Amino acid sequence: MGRYFLRRLLIYIPVGLLVTLLVFTLADLAPGDPADWLYSPELNMTYEEIQAIKESMGLNQSPVVRYVQWLRQTAQGNLGYRMKNGDPVGPLIATRLKRTLVLGGVATAFGIIVGLGLGIYTALHQYSWFDHLSGVLAFLGISMPAFFVGVLGLYIFGLKLQWFPIGGITTPGGDPDDLRDFLYHLILPAALLSSNHVAGYFRYMRMSMLEVLHADYLTTARAKGMRERIVILRHALRNALLPVVTVIGASIPGLFGGAVFIETIFSWPGMGMLFIDGVNARDYPLIMGVTLVMTSVILLANLLTDIAYSLVDPRIRLETRSN
Amino acid sequence: MRGHHPAANQAAPPESAYLSEGLKVSVESPLHRAARRFFRNRPATISLIVLATMALAALAAPLIQRYPPDMIDLDNISAPPTWEHWLGTDMLGRDVWSRVIHGGRVSLSLGLVAALATATIGTFFGLLAGFLRGIVDTLIMRLVDVLMTIPGILVLLILVMYLGPGLGKLLIILPAMGWMGTCRMMRGQVLSVREVDYVLAARCLGFPTWRIIVRQILPNAFAPILVGITMSVGSIILSEAGLSFLGLGVQPPTPSWGNMLQAATVLHVLQEMLWLWLPPGILIVVTVLCVNFLGDGLRDAIDPRMVL
Amino acid sequence: MTAIKSTRRKFLRMAALAGGSLALAACTPAVVERTVVVEKEVEKVVTQVVERTVVVEKEPTPVEQVMVGAFDVGPHGCPQCYDPLKRSVGYWWLTKMWAPLAFWDETGTKAIPELAESWEPTSDDGRVWRITLRPGLKWSDGEPLTMNDLRYQFRLMYNPEYAGERAVTGARYFVGGEAYAKGEADDITGIKVLDDLTIELTYVDPMPILNVSDIYFEFAEHFWSQFTPAEIASGQHYGDARPCCGPFMWSRWVKDQYTEAVANPYYWRGRPKLDKLINRYFDNETTAVLALQRGEIDFTYIGRDVVPSLKRVPGYTVIAGSSGVANFIALNFREPIIQDLRVRQAMIYALDREKIIETLYLGTAQKLNCLFSQAQFNPSDLTDYPYDPEKAKALLAEANFTQEAEWELITYYSDQLSTNVMQAIQKYWADVGIKVRPRTVDVPTFNSFQPIGKDWVVSYIGQSHFRGARDAMGRWANDQRPDALGECKNMHGCYPSIDEVTADLKIATSSLDGAARLEATLNVARTMNAELTDIWMWAAERYGAVNDRVKNFKFAPLPANAGFYDQSELWEIVP
C-alpha cells in the first residue's frame, strides 16, 4: 500500500510542475510584459528608459532561463518578488490567503447555518407560504451575477440603510488589529457572498430531509410512541445531514479564490484582487506563486484524502494491494 | 428496478401490460415515462415554456425590433421609456429594447454553444481515459483533479490574459473551465459499463471500439450529459456577466445581457437609469432560474437518484 | 455502491482539504503584518515628534482635523507606490510628504517656488543651472535639510547598485553622469554642491527650462545613508517611518488599506491645519464614490459618468480641471491608404466632434485641432475641420478609397465614456464608408505593439500635452523608438514632414531663445493641423469630488509628473 501512495505522489509532482509550466507559458506568451504595464501610455518614457526597466527586471533573458531560475528559487523556499513593487510573494500570499479564507469561511458558515436552518424548517412545514417564499429568495441568490449582488448589497445596506461600512477591512485611522472593527467590516461582504451558498444547502437539506421524513423507520418510531421532537432530532436529522455534509465539503475549494467580485467591490484585500492584479500586470512571479500554492495545497489534500480513505475503508486497502 | 421515490405515487400499470392471450405486452417506454414525470413537475414545465419563449424571441430578434441595436442617435441619449423607445435609450441613444433582444441572442447562444462544447470536450476525454486506462487515464485524471479544484476564476483569468477578451475567445475559454465534470462522469460511465457481460461479449467478438461506445455507453450516459448541459448554461451566462464586470466579456458594441448589466456599477445608472440595467438583470435571473429548474426537472424525470 | 464510494471519497478529500488549509492558515507565522513591526518603530518617532510639537502647536481646534481621501484612485494615482524605481505616476500623494523644488499652478504655466527659493542658468549655453534653497529648512525629525540631501539622492538614483540599468538612462543627462552610472567614476562631476543651500547642475544638452517640479527631496541623507544602496533597492525599507519635508509626515502604512500621515510641524509654510491626512486605497472607483457619499471619505477622483448625480447631492463640490491630456486618433502611415491626405481629411470631416463633446462629454471638453489645447501654442491660422460628411464622402471618392478589411480601432481606455466614444466614431465613419471595429486591450498588450507601429491602423489614445513641445517629442520625433517598424523610427511611421517636425521639436525643447522655441512649437502645431498627422479630437476635463466640510481644498487632475500646488497645508475641516 505504501508503494501505491508513493506512486501517486510521484505522479502528482510532475503534474504540479506541468501546471506551473503551462501557466508560465501562457503568461509569457501573453502580449506585453511586466515592464509594459509599468508605464502609462499617456506619458513619455523614452525607449532607453523602457529598455532599462526591462533589463533590470530580467525580462530580456530567455523564458527557459527565467522559468528555471524560478524553479530553483522556489526549491529553496523563496517564491520570488512581485515585479510591481518588489514585495516578497510568499508572505504576501499568506496574508492575502488568510483574509480570503476568513471571508469565504464566514460566508460558508452563514450559508450553512441559514441554508440548513431554512431547509429543515421548510421541510417540516412543506407547502407553507414560508416554504415558497424561502425557495424563491434562495434561488434568487444563485441566479444573480456575483458582482451585481455585491453592488446592490453595498448600495442598499451601506449607503441607503447605512448599516455597514463601505468596504475595507478596518476603519482608516483606527487600530488595524481591532477585532470588533474587523468583524463589523466583515459582515456585509460575507453575507452577500453567502447568498450563493444558501441556495445550494437549502435545496439539498430540504430534499434530503423530505426523503427521510417519509421513511419507514420514522413511521415505526412514531408508532412506538416516540415524541415527535425526538423523532425528528435523533433520527430524521442525522440521516438527512449525511449527504449534505458531502455537499458542504464540495464547496470548500471555492473558498480559495472564489470571492473575486465581492473582494473587488468591497476593496477586501484578498487573493482574488491579488491574482487579478498579477494577471493585469503580467506579474509572472506572482501568478506562478499563487498557482503553485493552490496546486500544492490541492494535491496534498487529495493525497491525504486517499490515505485517510484507505484507512477508513478496508476494502480499498485490499483493492489497492491487489492492484 | 431502480429505487422509486417514496413520496411518488405509484401509477397503476396499464392494462395491456398484463400478460394475456396473444402475449401482447405493451410497456411504457422509458422516454414516455420520463416525459410524464417531467410534465408533472410544474416549475420545470413552466421553465421550459419560458425558455422556449425567450429562445423564440431571440431567434426572431430582427423581426420584433423597432430600431437596429447599434443605431446611434446622439440627439436622444439616456432617454427613459416612451412609446417611441419601449425601454428607453442608452448613453449613445441606442434603443434598449432592441439591444435586450439582441443581447438575448448573444447570451443564450453563447450559453448553449459553450455548454455543448464543454460537454463534447468532457465526453471525449472521459471516453479516452475510461477506455485506454493506464498512463493516459492517470494523467488525464490527475489533470482533472488539479484543474477542478483550482478556482475556475483563476483559470479563466489566465486564459483571458493570454487570448484577450471577446465573444469568440469566450467560446474557447468557458468550456476550458467546465469540461472536467463531464469528463469524470463519462469516465465513470465507461468504467462501470466496460466490464458488463454484453460489452465483454462485444469486445470478444471484435466489435470496433467506436461501435461499443455509440451503442452501449453513450445511451446510458446521455441523461446525465443532458442534465449537465442545462446546468452549465446557467453558470455560463453568469460567468459572462462576471467577466463583463471585469471588462473581459463580450465587447461592446455587441450587446449581451452581461455587458448591459455591468453599467449598473456606476452609481448614477444604478439609482436613476433603471431602464438600462433592470431588463437585462431580470432576464439573466429568470434564465438562470428556469435553466436550473429545467435541469432539476430533467434529472428527477429520468432518474431521481442520480448523483450529479 | 459506486455512488456511496464516490461521495464518501469526495467528503474525505474535502475534509482533508479543509483541514490542510486551516492548518496552513494557522501555521503561517506571525507572517503578518510588517505593519505591526513598522508601527512599533513609528510610534517611537511619532512620540518624539509629538513631544516637540506640544511646544510648537497652536490652540487645538474644536473639530477633529482628520481628512480621509482616495488620493490614488484615477489615472494619476499609483496606490502604494513607495519605490521610486517602480513608479511612473502617483506623485500627488507623494507631494504631501516630500516636497519638490517648485510646484506648478493648475494651468501648468506658472512655477510656484516650494523648497527652492530661486533657480537660474549661470552659463551662456544654458547647460549650467544654479538652484538656491530657502534658508532654515528642516526635515520632519528636526534635522536641517540641505543640498547635501539632494546630492545624496542623485548619487543614489544613479548608482548602479541601486538602479541597475536605469541608472544609466537617468544619469546621462548630467555631465559625468554616465561614467558614474556605469561604475567608472566615484562621483558625478556635473552635480556640485557649492554650499548647504546651493547646488550647481551641469547638463550635457542645453536646458532652456529647468523642470524643478520633477525634483523631489525624497531621501534624507542622515536617514538613508545607514543602508547600502542594494539594501534600499530591495524595497524592505520603504515602509519605514522616514524623514519627510512636505506638509505632512509619515505616520504608518497599513498595507493594502491606507497610509496615514500626520502634520509636519517643521514644514516651511507652517504646520498644516489638518492633524492627520489619510490616503485610503480602493480597488474599485464605485466603492470610493459610495464611501464619499456615505461620509467615510472626504475626497475622491470621479469618472465623468458619476458627475451628474454627485452635482445634485448637497454637501459635495465637484471640481473640474483640465486633464492635460489630448485625445486623438493616432494614424499609422505604414498603411498605404493613410498616406493620402484626402483620406485623412475625410476622416476628420466625417466626425461630428462638437456633437460628441456636447452629448457624451456634456460640453466639458475642448475641441482640438492640433496636439495642444493651450491658447499660446495654437497659431491663429489653424484649419478647423467642421463636421461635413458630404465633403468626406467626396474626398474618399476622389482618393479611390478602399479597405481590404475592417480596421481595428485600438484603445487602452476601458471606461464607459471612452467605450461610447469609440462606438460613436465607428458610426460616423461607417456613415461615410470607413469601416472600423473598436477593440479595447489592456495596457501591457497595448504597449507591446502599438508604439512600434505593429498590427494597427488607427488607435484612440491620449497624450499629456501641457508641457508643450516636450510632450510631443516621444511620438512625433523621428528617432525616439529605434525598435519601431519601418524606416522612420516613430509610432506613426513616416508621416509627411516628419523631418521638419523633428527639427522643430528639437529647437522647441533645446533652444535658449524663448521666441525661437515658441515659433518652433507653433510650426509643429501648424504641421500637425495641415498634414493631419493624427485625427485631433479634444482635451477633456477630469473630475474630483470633495466634501464641503473641507475648506481651501484644491485639486488639479493633471497626470503623473505634474506636481501642482494644492495648498494642502491650508486644508481645514469646518463642519
Phi/psi for C420 (5° steps) reads -65, -40
User: Chain B interface, mutation test: which of A17, A279, A306, most B Cβ atoms within 10 Å?
Assistant: A279
Query: Which cell is B59 given?
Result: 431567434
Helix B167-194 to helix C2-27 angle (10° resolution) is 130
Chain C hits for B157, CB-CB cut-off 8 Å, are none
Size of interface B-C (CB pairs under 8 A): 65
Answer whether residue C560 shows pLDDT above 80.
no
Domain shared by A196 and A50, yes or no: no
Q: Specify whether the CB–CB gap between B120 and B141 falls below 8 A.
A: no
Phi/psi for C410 (5° steps) reads -90, 140
Q: Specify whether the CB–CB gap between A79 and A88 falls below 8 A.
A: yes
CATH superfamily, with its number, for domain B59-302: MetI-like (1.10.3720.10)
What pLDDT does residue B308 have?
Answer: 47
CA distance A276 to chain B (A): 7
Q: Specify whether the CB–CB gap between C247 and C264 falls below 8 A.
A: yes
How far is CA B106 from each of CA B59, B166, B241, rounded to the nearest angstrom? 10, 12, 12
Domain shared by A154 and A33, yes or no: no
Mean pLDDT along residues C192-213? 89
Let me know if residue A160 belongs to a domain.
yes
Q: In terms of CA atoms, which chain B residue is nearest residue A26?
A: B162
Inform me whether the C-beta atom of residue C205 falls under 8 Å from chain A C-beta atoms.
Answer: no
What percentage of chain B has pLDDT greater than the value 90? 17
A232-241, B57-66, C123-132, range with the lowest pLDDT? A232-241
Mean pLDDT along residues A271-278? 84
Query: Which cell is C222 given?
Result: 542622515
Domain residue limits, chain B: 59-302
Domain of residue A28, residue span: 16-75
**Mean pLDDT in chain B?**
80
Query: Which cell is C12 given?
Result: 474525505
Three-state secondary structure call for residue C305? helix
Q: Give the CATH number for residue A121.
A: 1.10.3720
- Phi-psi category of A150—alpha, beta or left, where left has phi over 0 and alpha has psi -120 to 50? alpha
Domain shared by A257 and A156, yes or no: yes
Domain shared by A55 and A153, yes or no: no
B7·A294 Cβ contact <8 A:
no
20-49 in chain A: CB under 8 A from chain C: 30-34, 36-49
Q: Exposed/middle/buried for C345, CB within 10 Å: 0-12, 13-18, 19+?
A: buried
- Alpha-helical regions (H) of C88-193: 91-94, 147-157, 160-163, 166-171, 177-181
Domain shared by A161 and A257, yes or no: yes
Of A142, A146, A254, the CB nearest to B151: A254
Domain shared by A53 and A121, yes or no: no
Inform me whether the C-beta atom of residue A174 falls under 8 Å from chain C C-beta atoms.
Answer: no
What pLDDT does residue C335 have?
Answer: 92
The Cβ of residue A4 has, within 10 Å, a number of other Cβ atoms equal to 17
What pLDDT does residue C29 have?
Answer: 39
Answer whether residue A294 shows pLDDT above 50.
yes
Chain A hits for B143, CB-CB cut-off 8 Å, are 15, 18
Query: Which cell is A241 given?
Result: 445531514
The Cβ of residue A72 has, within 10 Å, a number of other Cβ atoms equal to 10
Of C89, C293, C441, the CB nearest to A159: C293
Query: Which cell is C65 given?
Result: 482635523
Sign, CA torsion C511/C516/C517/C519: negative
The tally of domains found in chain A comes to: 2
Let me know if residue A5 belongs to a domain.
no
Please compute, for residue A178, the number of CA atoms within 13 A of its CA located in the half-sphere on the CB side. Answer: 13
pLDDT-derived band at B286, boundaries 50, 70, 90: very high
Which amino acid type is present at position C383?
T
The Cβ of residue C285 has, within 10 Å, a number of other Cβ atoms equal to 21
* Neighbouring chains to B with at least 3 Cβ pairs closer than 8 Å: A, C
Strand partners, C321: C542
Distance in angstroms (rounded) separating the CA atoms of residues C505 and C525: 10
Query: Which cell is C445 given?
Result: 498588450
Q: Specify whether the CB–CB gap between B49 and B243 falls below 8 A.
A: no
When mean pLDDT is compared over A123-132, B9-18, C207-216, the highest value belongs to C207-216
Query: Which cell is B15 given?
Result: 392494462
What pLDDT does residue B5 have?
Answer: 40
- Phi-psi category of C28—alpha, beta or left, where left has phi over 0 and alpha has psi -120 to 50? beta
Query: Which cell is B76 given?
Result: 436622444
Chain C hits for A302, CB-CB cut-off 8 Å, are 13, 16-17
Of A37, A269, A312, the CB nearest to C443: A37
B100-109, B142-151, C362-371, C383-392, range with the lowest pLDDT? B142-151
Distance in angstroms (rounded) separating the CA atoms of residues B148 and B135: 19
Of A19, A146, A155, the CB nearest to B242: A146
Which amino acid type is present at position C213?
S
C294·A166 Cβ contact <8 A:
yes
| pLDDT tens-digit map of C350-395 | 999 999 999 988 888 999 999 998 888 999 889 999 999 999 999 9
Beta strands in B1-159 (DSSP E): none
Query: Which cell is C467 given?
Result: 508641457
Let me know if residue A198 belongs to a domain.
yes
C559·A49 Cβ contact <8 A:
no
B104-113, B181-190, C466-475, range with the lowest pLDDT? B181-190
A94·C28 Cβ contact <8 A:
yes
Let me know if residue A80 belongs to a domain.
no
Please compute, for residue B104, the number of CA atoms within 13 A of its CA located in the half-sphere on the CB side. Answer: 29
Q: Specify whether the CB–CB gap between C492 and C476 falls below 8 A.
A: yes
Distance in angstroms (rounded) separating the CA atoms of residues A63 and A202: 49
Distance in angstroms (rounded) separating the CA atoms of residues A290 and C574: 47
Pairing relation of β-strands C276-280 and C66-70?
parallel
Three-state secondary structure call for residue B35? helix
When mean pLDDT is compared over A90-94, A138-142, C47-51, C84-88, the highest value belongs to A90-94
Q: What is the DSSP string of C272-302?
A: -S-SEEEEE--S-HHHHHHHHHHTS-SEEEE
Mean pLDDT along residues C469-474? 88
Which residues have CB under 8 Å from B282's CB, separation 6+?
none
From the list B179, A310, B307, B191, the residue with the least C-alpha distance to C7 is: B307
Inform me whether the C-beta atom of residue C514 falls under 8 Å from chain A C-beta atoms.
Answer: no
pLDDT-derived band at C37, boundaries 50, 70, 90: very low
Inform me whether the C-beta atom of residue B288 falls under 8 Å from chain A C-beta atoms.
Answer: yes
Q: What is the DSSP string of B162-180?
A: HH-SSHHHHHHHHHHHHHH
C423·B164 Cβ contact <8 A:
no
DSSP secondary structure letter of residue C458? E
Of A15, A148, A302, the CB nearest to B264: A148
Which amino acid type is present at position C367?
K
Of C7, C424, C445, the CB nearest to B74: C424
Q: What is the DSSP string of B47-66?
A: HHHHHHHHHHHHHTHHHH-S
Inform me whether the C-beta atom of residue B143 falls under 8 Å from chain A C-beta atoms.
Answer: yes
Let me know if residue A82 belongs to a domain.
no
How far is CA C133 from each of CA C197, C495, C561, rounded to the nearest angstrom? 5, 45, 21
Answer whether residue A321 shows pLDDT above 80.
no
Sequence length of chain B is: 308
User: Chain A interface, mutation test: which of B4, B47, B107, B149, most A Cβ atoms within 10 Å?
Assistant: B149
Place of cell 470621479: C302
A15·B246 Cβ contact <8 A:
no
Chain B hits for A299, CB-CB cut-off 8 Å, are 145-146
Domain shared by A70 and A112, yes or no: no
B154·A290 Cβ contact <8 A:
yes
Of C25, C28, C464, the CB nearest to A42: C464
User: Chain A interface, mutation test: which of C5, C82, C157, C290, most A Cβ atoms within 10 Å?
Assistant: C290
| pLDDT tens-digit map of C242-287 | 999 999 999 999 988 999 999 999 999 999 999 999 999 998 888 9
A97·C25 Cβ contact <8 A:
yes
Query: Which cell is A301 given?
Result: 489534500
Domains of chain C: 2-53 (no CATH), 66-281 (3.40.190.10), 325-540 (3.10.105.10)
Please compute, for residue A211, the number of CA atoms within 13 A of its CA located in the half-sphere on the CB side. Answer: 18
Let me know if residue A299 belongs to a domain.
no
In SS3 terms, C356-390 reads as: HHHHCCCCCEEECCCCCCCHHHCCCCCCCCCCCHH
Domain shared by A126 and A194, yes or no: yes
The Cβ of residue A228 has, within 10 Å, a number of other Cβ atoms equal to 11
User: Chain C interface, mutation test: which of B2, B67, B74, B246, most C Cβ atoms within 10 Å?
Assistant: B74
Chain C hits for B74, CB-CB cut-off 8 Å, are 352, 355-356, 359-360, 424
- Alpha-helical regions (H) of C319-361: 341-349, 353-359
Q: Specify whether the CB–CB gap between B195 and B138 falls below 8 A.
A: no
Of B242, B288, B289, the CB nearest to A147: B242
Query: Which cell is A194 given?
Result: 453567502
Domain shared by A71 and A202, yes or no: no
Answer whether residue B1 shows pLDDT above 80.
no
From the list C106, C34, C46, the residue with the least C-alpha distance to C554 is: C106
How far is CA A150 from each of CA A73, A138, A186, rounded to the nearest angstrom? 39, 16, 13
Distance in angstroms (rounded) separating the CA atoms of residues C337 and B81: 44
A31·C35 Cβ contact <8 A:
no
304-323 in chain A: CB under 8 A from chain B: none
Domain shared by A130 and A173, yes or no: yes
ipTM of the complex: 0.82
Omega of the bond leading into B30 within 30 degrees of 0 (cis): no
Of B72, B247, B271, the CB nearest to C414: B247
Of B162, B238, B285, the CB nearest to A26: B162
Chain A hits for C157, CB-CB cut-off 8 Å, are none
B158·A27 Cβ contact <8 A:
yes
How far is CA C546 from each of CA A158, B33, C54, C322, rounded to the nearest angstrom? 19, 67, 31, 17
Let me know if residue A83 belongs to a domain.
no
**Residue burial C235-251, b: 16+ Cβ < 10 Å; e: rest:** bebbbbbbbbbbbbbbb
Inform me whether the C-beta atom of residue C461 falls under 8 Å from chain A C-beta atoms.
Answer: yes
Q: What is the DSSP string of C63-117?
A: S--EEEEETT-STT--TT---GGG-SS-HHHHTTTS-BSEEE-TTS-SEEESSEE
Q: What is the DSSP string of A99-144?
A: HHHHHHHHHHHHHHHHHHHHHHHHHHTTTSHHHHHHHHHHHHHHHS
From the list A156, A265, A141, the residue with the least C-alpha distance to B271 is: A156
Size of interface A-B (CB pairs under 8 A): 121
Inform me whether the C-beta atom of residue A78 falls under 8 Å from chain C C-beta atoms.
Answer: no
pLDDT-derived band at C42, boundaries 50, 70, 90: very low
Place of cell 450587446: B255
What pLDDT does residue C400 have?
Answer: 92
Distance in angstroms (rounded) separating the CA atoms of residues C508 and B78: 45
269-288 in chain A: CB under 8 A from chain B: 272, 275-276, 279-280, 282, 287
The Cβ of residue C373 has, within 10 Å, a number of other Cβ atoms equal to 22
